[in-house]
Structure 1
């Protein structure tokens, strides 16, 4: 989902700069959680027609998977063809992305009903000075890049403990979001008994909203937590080395990390 947000955002920013209308096929039928999905042209019918036009080769389909694919000829086609399909992850324009950053945030504003549910959850369990979001990615991460970002509970627990040490006079609440249905929350509470720890059982959109509403984010390297940090310019620490110690300098911001996503 969040890979698609970043992909579309670059294309949108380029289109905005060049006066080209951009429609997301993915958000026309999937991930219906954002303001963007309420626009009249993001719907199943538009998606079906576009797929048909591409499949029957009635419109040109550009696949720009790498920066080297963004040739002068490709850009001219995008600027001048009345309708064209664009795929691939290589279409990136960082300067334009940040030029239209506020518009991108508005387009991907999470729907009010989802945000309301998260706010009610916070109201029911949180009275802290600081909210720490911990994104524990398991599942597919056991295989992704050979499991390089798949960390056991002790790694997350140690990072949480080191976070507490950075704010000794603050009351910290920890909110865990994870795709691990077997996460041992009892272990976390036992190891970190002096703090308030919550395991949020939300949808993917609710998880994204919750992460974005905390004050700091810790998690394995993932575009999901990265996009969460984008919404409110939150400091985020992506664990890449399980042996590394946590400090305030460990935290980065979206603009520091997003080109590697």
Structure 2
């Protein structure tokens, strides 16, 4: 069945986690309503995922725009740049004014605004325009995300090379002489979080160590392995700390590794939010570092809602 209309994601809205979150909500709406998605700003991360690697416009369904792409070609980035420039000019100067007037709608929202892709107003207007260009961050379709989670996970599965590296790492852990009851992923973010929200969610390594120690009583086990994935090096800070290993530091390998843990702990971040969704792994976001988590505080983020 040919798509009823096209949704164009046009805004670059942060790093990997943010891009995965917004893309997933828009794709979920597209699956539910038979729409085509063109995801222009995802070109930065397209090379890492099965659904986007050879997909020039990072579209969904990806079978509609298949194109074998080498990173060296720089084709995807140049194509995305040209499309963004064209959209910018169309929006500003109303180029092709007659076509624009009858077939294109720009939906522009501020960072703090929320736009529901499940609202009756949006759904009733779907066929009134052929193309809708989405500018903003908070486009959401949480019910559709839950309903179509399997398809979203399949589309955004890491390429086999990254899956194999993580599997090899986990196999090595399983061969250790010490058997663990649980593997807990610790997501540490100390680079840009010094500035984000005025440093509200920047936590020192000492704070993470305190939380790690509390998890032994939370899970009622002394046999817990902690995998630290961080945006800054942590090995010296955790020197001689038992039951600690470290992720590779590669963006995709770390997010996939976190998804394979039994539990995830970290500051509020769409990076760990996505890992929880992808692996159906219970997550605890640290909003108050003085509060030590309880087991009921860990939740699987199956709707990909960001509530900060």
Which TM bucket (shorter chain)? 0.7 to 0.9
Q: Which residues in structure 2 correspond to 1:238-257 (within 5 Å)?
A: 238-255=285-302
Task: Please say which of residues 14-23 and 44-53 is displaced more in the overlay.
Answer: 44-53
Report the counterpart of residue 26 of structure 1 in structure 2. Answer: 41
Report the counterpart of residue 17 of structure 2 in structure 1. Answer: 2
Q: Is 2:116–2:141's contact at 8 Å kept on the other side of the alignment? A: no
- Judged with a 3 Å threshold, the aligned counterparts in structure 2 of structure 1 residues 86 and 159 are, in CA distance, closer, same or farther, namely same
- Judged with a 3 Å threshold, the aligned counterparts in structure 2 of structure 1 residues 131 and 72 are, in CA distance, closer, same or farther, namely closer
The CA distance in 1 between the partners of 2:51 and 2:150, in whole Å, is 13
More helix by share: 1
Task: Give 1:29 shift.
Answer: 4.7
Q: Any unmatched runs of 5+ in structure 1? A: none
Whether 1:54 and 2:87 are equivalent positions in the alignment is yes
- Judged with a 3 Å threshold, the aligned counterparts in structure 2 of structure 1 residues 232 and 117 are, in CA distance, closer, same or farther, namely same
Report the counterpart of residue 199 of structure 2 in structure 1. Answer: 147
* Superposition RMSD in Å: 2.6
Q: Is 1:18–1:79's contact at 8 Å kept on the other side of the alignment? A: no
Q: Is 1:132–1:175's contact at 8 Å kept on the other side of the alignment? A: yes
Report the counterpart of residue 140 of structure 2 in structure 1. Answer: 92
The CA distance in 2 between the partners of 1:39 and 1:16, in whole Å, is 20
Q: Any unmatched runs of 5+ in structure 2? A: 1-15, 59-75
Q: Deviations over 1:109-161 (max 9, x none)?
A: 11111111111122234443321110011011011111111111221111111
Q: Deviations over 1:173-214 (max 9, x none)?
A: 111010113x2x344344x43xx2112233111111111111
- Judged with a 3 Å threshold, the aligned counterparts in structure 2 of structure 1 residues 150 and 254 are, in CA distance, closer, same or farther, namely same
Q: Is 2:284–2:298's contact at 8 Å kept on the other side of the alignment? A: yes
TM-score after normalising by structure 1: 0.86
Task: Give 1:232 shift.
Answer: 2.0
Q: Which residues in structure 2 correspond to 1:105-184 (within 5 Å)?
A: 105-126=153-174, 127=176, 128-169=180-221, 171-181=223-233, 183=234
Report the counterpart of residue 108 of structure 2 in structure 1. Answer: 63
The CA distance in 1 between the partners of 2:51 and 2:278, in whole Å, is 15
Report the counterpart of residue 238 of structure 2 in structure 1. Answer: 188
Task: Give 1:168 shift.
Answer: 4.3
Secondary structure of 2:51's partner? Answer: helix
Task: Please say which of residues 66-75 and 30-39 is displaced more in the overlay.
Answer: 66-75
The CA distance in 2 between the partners of 1:256 and 1:100, in whole Å, is 10
Task: Please say which of residues 72-81 and 219-228 is displaced more in the overlay.
Answer: 72-81
Q: Is 2:145–2:303's contact at 8 Å kept on the other side of the alignment? A: no
Whether 1:12 and 2:23 are equivalent positions in the alignment is no
Q: Deviations over 1:222-255 (max 9, x none)?
A: 1101100111211111111111122212212204
Runs of 4+ in 1 over 4 A off after TM superposition: 68-78
The CA distance in 1 between the partners of 2:278 and 2:304, in whole Å, is 14
Number of residues paired by the alignment? 256
